[in-house]
Amino acid sequence: MKHLLTLVLCLAATPVLANRVFVSNEKGNDVTVLDSETLEVIGSYPVGNRPRGITISPDGKELYVCASDDDLVRVFDPETMEETHTLPSGPDPELFVLHPSGNPLYIANEDDNLVTVVDTETHQVLAEIPVGVEPEGMGVSPDGKVVINTSETTNMAHFIDSETFEITANVLVDSRPRFAEYNHDGSKLYVSAEIGGTVSVIDPATQEIVHKIEFEIPGVLPEAIQPVGVRVTSDGSRVFVALGPANRVAVIDGETDEVLEYLLVGQRVWQMAFTPDEKLLFTTNGNSNDVSVIDVESLEVVKSVPVGQQPWGVVVAPD
Amino acid sequence: MFKRIILLLAGVWMMSAPVAAQDQPEATLIPSAVLRVEEAGLPPISRLELPPEDLGFAGARLAIEDNDTTGRFMGQDFEAEEVVTTPDAAADEMDRLIDEGVEFIVVLADDETMLSLADHAGDRVMLFNATAHGDNLRGTDCRANTIHVAPSHAMLADGLAQFLMWKKWSRWFLIEGSHPEDAAFAEALRRSATKFGAKIVEERVYEDTGGARRTDSGHVQVQKQMPVFTQRAAEHDVVVAADDAGIFAGYLPYQTWDPRPVTGSAGLMPRAWHAAMEAWGASQFQNRFEKLTNRPMRDEDYLTWLALRMIGEAATRSQSSDPATLKEFMLSDQFEVAGFKGQKLTMRDWDHQVRQPILLVTDLLLTSVSPQDEYLHQVSQLDTLGIDRSETECTF
């Protein structure tokens, strides 16, 4: 009994670094919140119609959700999940990226071939940037100077100056580019192509494709390998790519761009998010309605957690 | 807004070395046309299927918007002239378009007209067949100047057959109409039955004798005729109807003598597209179309869109506006295009048929998509649908 008490005291003394994990459920019109430590569901909360892209402010105080069918971005208090306000987003917001400073928010308007830039403090639209057909993927360089948009039917990565809002370059990639992600020193930009089945590695300095990562999984039809979400560890050594209906996450060496391993997750895996300590990676599996939890160190899938209907995006609260 | 686009375009041309056409201050025009050949005929048996005036053209308008948006970055401008004509006047219209400098023509016509237009065009222009399903057009009557965007009868029949075999519904009661296109589809269904191991246990022909069709209380007649027509058939799992002419199949569901599902031209139908498709990004594609046209998308719209998108995609990828280069690129094994069907669509070099999944649909929903997972292929699973390289009768 005494032992137990000491143990409890010890536990209480060390702050448990649990972070909230927010999963948007596209068909469920809600967000499921998980605890990153216990991996239990805390609750699910209505967030508007067709929630897809989801992100959180660097200070962890504002949770942003693209409510695609409401044509706006809804903002929630991540603790209470009460809606605090909305942001104008332009029509059909799908995915967005926050400037590293937390302001502004760059939003891809899928139906209208625009990227809308919104000030998260004044809630004003700062610019509408015409891009290619079906803009989706949004990335931002670590220094915040360049915003990347990918257009799914035009098949380009558009480089946008984050201050002047002008397109400075267009890089043609493979079919249906879904996602753009820089590594942390800004030396590589990864752009996934869902139908092309590849990830283009672009040198941001020259805006040229330096390598194309291809995937091959024994027993999986090539057509089912559809890269979508991309996440890179902060040291740049590992790149994770969600392969959609191949139900795998590819692990790539960030130096050599070689595929190291394929991890079996739930069905139709699209988006991913690390915990701040990068020990865990959460994946959204749209067809099995769950989230797979990957141990980044051991590269093992440690758990799957049922969430809502057709989970789409995921973000983890900062420490 | 317009000003901003101009400003941006200027920026694009100056700075985007990788793809933008730097030395082209003016966009290069890539002209095409959509030729819809209409025949006087009966209205469809359901008033919900009355063809809209912009049938096919609406798909073309969306494709041109899509191509132009990309073209902004490439210095390319796309156009599609819309022409409605009759079988008699179609060749003259085609000559006029060719004289105007059009190099690509999407044709919406029946099998016979499609073939005669292909022969008339010769090597002057590249044609895209958006509606004719005949297997002969990809076989003994194939023409090198024609790309078949529309799935063939064989592909449609194989797509359905794979699903029926997956369901273990292998005993078919085949009912075909009395029109030539019905017979062609029935022949494709027979071939599919042999290919996938189904057995056609009974065959009947439904004669088109004209008649009341949509008269007041016509349903009373239908309710009496259809059970009688289908009675005492050999033991079967499903009815498979071949009714491309749209005469009787729509009346079969719930009216058959034996309680059996109806497939083929009614009930569960193999199609190129469906307005309820949501998967693979189709939702936003449907949204864009509906915003533009205020109606749901039909097969003809989808296939016309796809044909023109192929031209756009070829122009982007080959970074060329030269018609010869585009034609060559589209027919090469490097060509692929995304068509909201979950995988890239490519070209069969042996008959110029575009490989594509076949949707199996009911009136309101998508039921399945073929190829079914169980049917494998050494080159592309899509080649389990239709006429494969080793079977082709086409020589260009």
Render pLDDT for B217-248 as a digit per residue (tens, 0 to 9). Answer: 667 777 888 999 999 999 999 999 999 999 99
A261 touches chain B (CB under 8 A): no
Q: What number is the average pLDDT over the span B262-274?
A: 98
Q: Which residue has the tokens 């979508």?
A: A228
The number of distinct structural domains making up chain B is 2
pLDDT at residue A6 greater than cutoff 90:
no
Percent of chain A at pLDDT exceeding 70: 95
B378 touches chain A (CB under 8 A): no
Pairing of strands B126-129, B146-148: parallel
Rounded to whole angstroms, the Cα distance separating B316 from B21 reads 11
Query: Please, which pLDDT band fits residue A3 given cuts at 50, 70 and 90?
Result: low
CB of A226 closer than 8 Å to CB of A246? yes
User: Is the same domain home to B295 and B232?
Assistant: no
Using an 8 Å CB-CB cutoff, list chain B residues near A166: 7-8, 11
Contact B16 A169 (CB under 8 A): yes
pLDDT at residue B4 greater than cutoff 70:
no
Among chain A residues, the shortest Cα distance to B317 is held by: A172
pLDDT at residue B147 greater than cutoff 70:
yes
Residue B377 is assigned to a structural domain of this protein: no
pLDDT at residue A2 greater than cutoff 90:
no
Q: What is the pLDDT of residue B8?
A: 43
User: Is the same domain home to B143 and B27?
Assistant: yes
Residue B375 is assigned to a structural domain of this protein: no
DSSP A127: E
Query: Please, which pLDDT band fits residue B215 given cuts at 50, 70 and 90?
Result: low
Rg (CA), chain A: 19
Q: What is the pLDDT of residue B5?
A: 43
Alpha carbon A57 to chain centroid, angstroms:
14
Pairing of strands A63-67, B171-177: unpaired
Percent of chain B at pLDDT exceeding 90: 83
CB of A267 closer than 8 Å to CB of A224? no
B316 touches chain A (CB under 8 A): yes
User: Mean pLDDT over all residues of chain A?
Assistant: 93
Looking up residue B30, the CATH number of its domain turns out to be: 3.40.50.2300
Q: What is the pLDDT of residue A233?
A: 97
Give the lowest-confidence range in A31-35, A164-168, B39-43, B65-69: B39-43
Residue B345 is assigned to a structural domain of this protein: yes
Q: What is the pLDDT of residue A314?
A: 98
Q: What is the pLDDT of residue B220?
A: 72
Alpha carbon B322 to chain centroid, angstroms:
26
Burial class (CB in 10 A: 0-12, 13-18, 19+), A12: exposed
Q: What number is the average pLDDT over the span A87-91?
A: 91
The two tokens of residue B286 are: 């449907």
Rounded to whole angstroms, the Cα distance separating B192 from B170 reads 11
Q: What is the pLDDT of residue B214?
A: 62
CB of A83 closer than 8 Å to CB of A63? no
Which of A52, A68, A133 should one mutate to test binding to chain B, selecting the residue with the greatest count of B CBs within 10 A? A133
Query: Please, which pLDDT band fits residue B364 given cuts at 50, 70 and 90?
Result: very high
The two tokens of residue A41 are: 């569901």
SS3 B395: coil
Residue B44 is assigned to a structural domain of this protein: yes
User: Is the same domain home to B122 and B60?
Assistant: yes
The residue from B270, B285, B313 where one domain ends is B270
Using an 8 Å CB-CB cutoff, list chain B residues near A90: none
- Strand intervals (E) in A121-197: 125-130, 135-140, 146-151, 156-161, 167-172, 177-182, 189-193
User: Is the same domain home to B278 and B133?
Assistant: yes
Residue B115 is assigned to a structural domain of this protein: yes
The two tokens of residue B190 are: 């027979």
What are the angstrom distances between the C-alpha of B332 and each of B312, B329, B336? 15, 5, 9
The two tokens of residue A139 are: 């990335």
pLDDT at residue A75 greater than cutoff 50:
yes
Specify the amino acid at residue B382.
Answer: L
Q: Which residue has the tokens 């506006």?
A: B321
Return the higher-pLDDT residue of B14 and A212: A212
DSSP B367: E
Contact B8 A130 (CB under 8 A): yes
Query: Please, which pLDDT band fits residue B211 given cuts at 50, 70 and 90?
Result: low
User: Is the same domain home to B50 and B117?
Assistant: yes
| Domain span including residue B82 | 23-151+274-356
CB of B163 closer than 8 Å to CB of B372? yes
Give the lowest-confidence range in A134-138, A238-242, B61-65, B222-226: B222-226
User: Is the same domain home to B216 and B105?
Assistant: no
- What domains does chain A contain, in order, with CATH numbers? 20-316 (2.130.10.10)
Contact B337 A166 (CB under 8 A): no
DSSP A279: S
pLDDT at residue A47 greater than cutoff 60:
yes
Q: What number is the average pLDDT over the span B75-98?
A: 97
SS3 B259: coil
Q: Kindly tell me the sign of the dihedral angle through the C-alpha atoms of A176, A182, A183, A187.
A: positive
Residue B40 is assigned to a structural domain of this protein: yes
Rounded to whole angstroms, the Cα distance separating A294 from A249 reads 9
Alpha carbon A4 to chain centroid, angstroms:
41
Q: Please tell me whether the interface predicted TM-score (ipTM) of this complex is above 0.85.
A: no
Q: For the segment A92-106, what is each residue's pLDDT rounded down to a tens digit?
A: 899 999 999 999 999
Q: What is the pLDDT of residue B6?
A: 41
Residue B383 is assigned to a structural domain of this protein: no
Rounded to whole angstroms, the Cα distance separating B84 from B290 reads 22
Query: Please, which pLDDT band fits residue B9 given cuts at 50, 70 and 90?
Result: very low
Residue B376 is assigned to a structural domain of this protein: no
The two tokens of residue A47 are: 């967030």
Rounded to whole angstroms, the Cα distance separating A22 from B196 reads 47
Specify the amino acid at residue B16.
Answer: S
Specify the amino acid at residue B223.
Answer: Q
SS3 B54: coil
| Range with the largest mean pLDDT of A4-8, A23-27, A89-93 | A23-27
Alpha carbon A117 to chain centroid, angstroms:
18
pTM, 2 dp: 0.86
Contact A171 B11 (CB under 8 A): no
A196 touches chain B (CB under 8 A): yes
User: Is the same domain home to B210 and B177?
Assistant: yes
User: Mean pLDDT over all residues of chain B?
Assistant: 91
User: Is the same domain home to B59 and B81?
Assistant: yes
Count interface pairs A-B at CB distance under 8 A: 103
Query: Please, which pLDDT band fits residue B108 given cuts at 50, 70 and 90?
Result: very high
- Put simply, the chain A residues between 55 and 94 with a CB less than 8 A from any chain B CB are 92, 94
Q: Kindly tell me the sign of the dihedral angle through the C-alpha atoms of A148, A132, B281, A91.
A: positive
The residue from B270, B299, B320 where one domain ends is B270
Return the higher-pLDDT residue of A111 and B395: B395
Q: What is the pLDDT of residue A164?
A: 95
User: Is the same domain home to B242 and B165?
Assistant: yes
Q: What is the pLDDT of residue A175?
A: 93
Q: What is the pLDDT of residue B13?
A: 40
Q: Which residue has the tokens 């190291």?
A: A260
Give A270-315 as a DSSP string.
EEEEE-TTSSEEEEEETTTTEEEEEETTTTEEEEEEE-SSSEEEEE
A130 touches chain B (CB under 8 A): yes
CA distance A153 to chain B (A): 8
**To the nearest 10°, the Cα dihedral for A294, A295, A297, A298?**
-90
Rg (CA), chain B: 22
User: Is the same domain home to B226 and B322?
Assistant: no
User: Is the same domain home to B197 and B343?
Assistant: no
Rounded to whole angstroms, the Cα distance separating B341 from B299 reads 13
SS3 B243: coil
User: Is the same domain home to B205 and B255?
Assistant: yes
* β-sheet bridge partners, residue A214: A198
Rounded to whole angstroms, the Cα distance separating B120 from B115 reads 9
B63 φ, ψ (degrees, to nearest 5): -60, -40
